[in-house]
Amino acid sequence: MEDLTKKKTYVEDIERSLYDIRNEDRSLYKSAKGLTEEVVRDISKRKNDPDWMLQKRLEALKIYNEMPMPTWGPDLSPLHMDDIVTYVRPDAKMTGNWKEVPEEIKDTFDRLGIPEAEKTSLAGVGAQYDSEVVYHSMQKELADQGVIYTDFETAVREYPDIVKQYFMTLIPPTAHKFAALHGAVWSGGSFVYVPEGVHVDIPLQSYFRLNAAGAGQFEHTLIICEKGSSLHFIEGCSAPKYNVTNLHAGAVELFVKEGARLRYSTIENWSRNMMNLNTKRALVDKDGVIEWVSGSFGSHVSCLYPTSVLRGENAKCEFTGVTFSSKGQDLDTGASALLLAPHTSANINTRTISKAGGKATYRSAVKVAPAAKDAKCLVNCESLMLDDQSRSDTLPVMDIQADDVEVGHEAKIGRISDEAIFYLTSRGIDEKEAQAMIVRGFVEPISKALPVEYAVEMNNLINLELEGTMG
């Protein structure tokens, strides 16, 4: 086999040692493996769910058992639900005092830069470890303005009327098999409510860490931005590597009301044994704006397509994403937009990078409804393959049901070329730096949109660890 290290275009993997540090499993409780009614009832009981939530869980379980496994995307055959533990309670209670977090868990988040980021550039932080939120805090000034930011279980107990109105209405259990799975066993997550006219000028962040081997994480995030409000929410995820399959099937439901603006930034850096089957959707009303900024770097398999439903006149969607796929990874990512009202607009801009046999697939679905007069949509996806073993595919779908609309799609797939390297080195640039310049230039339109100033972990990933790692 050809030695890739001898090729000028070889690029090293992202350095993952920081994220692969695993803690000893000190969980207080684990549910039985597999997915049964007994497991679901046990989780519900331990969560002190109200009866209405238990019934939703059981309804979702029934739907899950009736739905087939998806076959149109990446190979999911390594996933065996009979081997997955769906609930892991860590040896920690939720607290608003960082000093009260157990030392081993605290050290993990310290290494990831979460407490430091909170001190310098965040208005609130939630930290989830396995199936439970272990730390949550928010600046008093926001609470005084009526902003609610708490873990999702607390929201179910303390704000049941709001949760009932929105929970799993954007992502119903019938959406797909893993939405139903999520509805049955969800645990942890975040709840944010921004009142009318309130502007949260400093971002909020939630971080999800899965430590247990052979387990799943199923956090639920629900954000409601009322009329004329604004918010930037950051989500980070990571897990250490094990020799067994782990599963992530979270759900994110975002409601952007009239004239509101929500920016949702995500860095997903799961380990290479993770099946990342996450679902994210936003519903945008008149004059509202949803901005997605998405980075997908880890996991063995990813299926992630944030969806924007633009139901109000002049509603807007901006999606910016970058995916990096390496050896043993099949990352199937993209975005969807449903333009349902007049003068709506969507702009989808992505970059994918694949190397060492990694597979990166861009998949999108754009639908323009008959009522969406004067709608505009532009999809731009570019793919860069760093060697001759990698693969990149672009699979866009356009369903245009209205006249007087502007819809465009651009796709580029190419390889980093020896000619480009030669040109730069002939101008006195070091070969490794020349390689780094090409990759950095490729992702620059994406990376500059990411909130690198807010967390050390994000900063490290978005720079792709290029300095000193080029072949």
Evaluate if residue 117 carries a pLDDT over 60.
no
Residues 6+ away with beta carbon under 8 Å from 273? 241, 242, 243, 244, 245, 246, 300
| 406-426 pLDDT tens trace | 999 888 887 777 788 888 888
CB 274 within 8 A of CB 303: no
Give the distance from CA 368 to its chain's centroid: 25
Percent of the chain with pLDDT over 90: 45
Task: Please report, to the nearest 10 degrees, the dihedral formed by the alpha carbons of residues 163, 39, 298, 177 taken in order.
Answer: -70
Please compute the mean of the pLDDT values over residues 315-329 and round it to a whole number: 90
Q: Decide: helix, strand or coil at residue 189.
A: strand
Please tell me the distance from the alpha carbon of residue 268 to that of residue 284, in angstroms, as a whole number: 24
pLDDT of residue 118: 53
Evaluate if residue 19 carries a pLDDT over 60.
no
pLDDT of residue 109: 59
Q: What DSSP designation does 388 have?
A: T
| 201-226 pLDDT tens trace | 888 877 777 777 778 889 999 999 99
| 135-167 pLDDT tens trace | 667 778 888 899 999 989 999 999 999 999 999
Got the DSSP string for 262-286?
Answer: EEEEEEEE--TTEEE--EEEEEE-T
Evaluate if residue 467 carries a pLDDT over 50.
no
Task: Please report, to the nearest 10 degrees, the dihedral formed by the alpha carbons of residues 246, 87, 19, 431 taken in order.
Answer: 40
pLDDT of residue 456: 41
Please compute the mean of the pLDDT values over residues 9-22 and round it to a whole number: 47
| 263-317 pLDDT tens trace | 998 877 777 788 899 999 999 999 999 999 888 877 889 999 999 999 999 999 9
Average pLDDT, the chain: 82
Please state the domain extents for the chain. Answer: 19-417, 418-471
Percent of the chain with pLDDT over 70: 76
Evaluate if residue 319 carries a pLDDT over 60.
yes
Read off φ and ψ for residue 223, nearest 5 degrees: -125, 130
This prediction has a pTM of 0.86
Please compute the mean of the pLDDT values over residues 446-465 and round it to a whole number: 48
